[in-house]
Amino acid sequence: MNITVLSGSPKGEISVTLQYVKYIKKKHPDCRFEVFHIGREIKSIEKKPGLFAQIIEEVANSDGVIWCTPVYLLLIPSQLKRFIELVFERGAEDAFKDKYATALTTSAHFYDHTAHNYLHAVSEDLEMRYVDGYSAEFNDLLRPDERIQIQNFAERFFRYIEKEEPTGKAFMSVSREMPEYVPGNIEDIPKTKNRRVLFVTDASGSDSNLERMTDVFMKSASFKAELVNLNDMNLRGGCLGCLGCVYDGVCVYKDDMRDFFLDKLLRADAVIYAGSIKDRFLSARWKMLFDRMFFNGHRPVFGGQQTAWIISGPLKQIPNLRQVLEAFSGNPRMSNVGIVTDECVDSEQTTLLLKGLADQIMWGTEVGFSRPPSFLGVGGHKVFRDLIYSMRGIMKADHDYYKENHLYDFPQKDLKSLALNLLFLAMRSIPSLRNQMYKEGNKRMISPMEKVLKE
């Protein structure tokens, strides 16, 4: 059996995720594994047609494909994302058709599901036969019970291939046809409001709808926004996963990223992110920017910042992408004002939405509007909180920030709650008190709120 492994890690042979593949290979010496270090070699793959062709030929001759990658900020690394874009751009889809595929990832289980959803959906777009993937925690390979499950995962995948088992589709195909956005003449209103607003885009000459939406937003806003195009920034490459930044928050790259983040992004009252959908995400350029933010670690430094998204493409058909956008805005304690797309056939309606978005951003900065976190924010915070505390000897910058900002909100540190629970446990042991507690429980839950309502 021939298995092609497309490794998304920029660390090559020392990738943590790749060690899981090596373990599977050790347990299946009868299988041939061909590993391509996509994450490490992406620049060469882009520049050398022969190298890209070699990978595609190997995929075409394989029985199965394993997407082997760490999870980087809600998805896969930008390097692997760029490779997927190249497959579609260079018309290499046929090599993947009818091949069995699966995904093997490592992470702290922070939005690993959105990364798996993306790889699953892309595999289906390539008409592959996708078998559910395996999401490992970084050190699962060290645990005997988990090693058994890793073997079971591999056995299941190989069994699908050997028996030519059918696979069902989990995601709808995406229609890429978007209505042309024709806004007409838009009045450029006076910029009377003094706010620091950043508008970040990756629009190119081919993104006509995105450029028109950008123009309408800029003219409709009562504030002046600084426009930054990612294509004009000097970004030397995607995140290397080297962890060189976790001690002092300094990235090994010497390019525009740090100054952009600290001087522009961090200081903004509001940020508008604008991009076009490529496959089932934004561009790899966008993903590179998101990944490179890791030099800031896991610190929620954007508290109170208003954010919004202007998206060109079929966002309604890709709920996984919407969740990623909302998670990005929700986890660092930003306030997501909204998302406007060009999916509406009525250009006038899109224009009204863009004008409304500009107005809502201004209002949000004036009153300090902040949405309460949903499960996306609360759950994400707890994953990071526990991760940083357990690795505080390594993640010094994160640890110092979490201590200083009282983000280690473990429930066992809530002394008032501990005391009340001890009291309730004691009361429950007395039948008469226990019955009274449950009888009056609902009323007591709202009694503090009634006091507020009477004020």
The pTM assigned to this predicted structure is: 0.93
**14, 44 in Cβ contact below 8 A?**
no
**59, 4 in Cβ contact below 8 A?**
yes
Check residue 371 and give its pLDDT.
83
Which backbone phi and psi does 103 adopt, to 5 degrees? Answer: -130, 140
pLDDT in tens, the chain (455 residues): 999 999 999 999 999 999 999 999 999 999 999 999 999 999 999 999 999 999 999 999 999 999 999 999 999 999 999 999 999 999 999 999 999 999 999 999 999 999 999 999 999 999 999 999 999 999 999 999 999 999 999 999 999 999 999 999 999 999 989 999 999 899 999 999 999 999 999 999 888 999 999 999 999 999 999 999 999 999 999 999 998 898 888 999 999 999 999 999 999 999 999 999 999 999 999 999 999 999 998 998 888 899 999 999 999 999 999 999 999 987 666 889 999 999 999 999 999 999 999 999 999 999 998 888 888 889 999 999 999 999 999 899 999 999 999 999 998 888 888 888 788 788 778 887 778 877 777 887 888 888 899 88
**Beta strands, E only, 82-222:** 100-107, 129-130, 134-137, 193-201
Which tens digit of pLDDT belongs to each residue from 261-301?
999 999 999 999 999 999 999 999 999 999 999 999 899 88
Tokens representing 162 are: 């050997």
Alpha-carbon distance of 209 to 214, in angstroms, equals 9
Q: Which of 397, 403, 376 is nearest to 296 (CA)?
A: 397
Check residue 331 and give its pLDDT.
64
| C-alpha dist (Å) from residue 131 to 33, 65, 179 | 18, 10, 35
Check residue 332 and give its pLDDT.
60
* 197 DSSP β-pair partners: 225, 270
| C-alpha dist (Å) from residue 269 to 55, 226, 229, 308 | 45, 12, 19, 12
Alpha-carbon distance of 422 to 425, in angstroms, equals 5
Check residue 207 and give its pLDDT.
83
Task: Give one DSSP letter per residue of 212-275, joined into a string.
Answer: HHHHHHHHH-SEEEEEEEGGGS----S-----TTTTTS--S--SSHHHIIIIIITT-SEEEEEE
Check residue 276 and give its pLDDT.
97
Dihedral of CA 315/319/322/328: which sign?
A: negative
Alpha-carbon distance of 126 to 337, in angstroms, equals 34
Q: Which of 24, 21, 27, 23 is nearest to 9 (CA)?
A: 21
Q: How many residues does the chain have?
A: 455
Which tens digit of pLDDT belongs to each residue from 319-365?
999 999 999 987 666 889 999 999 999 999 999 999 999 999 999 99
- Maximum CA extent, the chain: 81
Cβ neighbours of residue 114 under 8 Å, at least 6 residues apart? 74, 75, 320, 323, 324, 327
Alpha-carbon distance of 195 to 27, in angstroms, equals 60
| Chain centre to alpha carbon of residue 15 | 20
The DSSP output letter for 313 is S
**How many H-runs (helices) and E-runs (strands) does the chain carry?**
15, 11
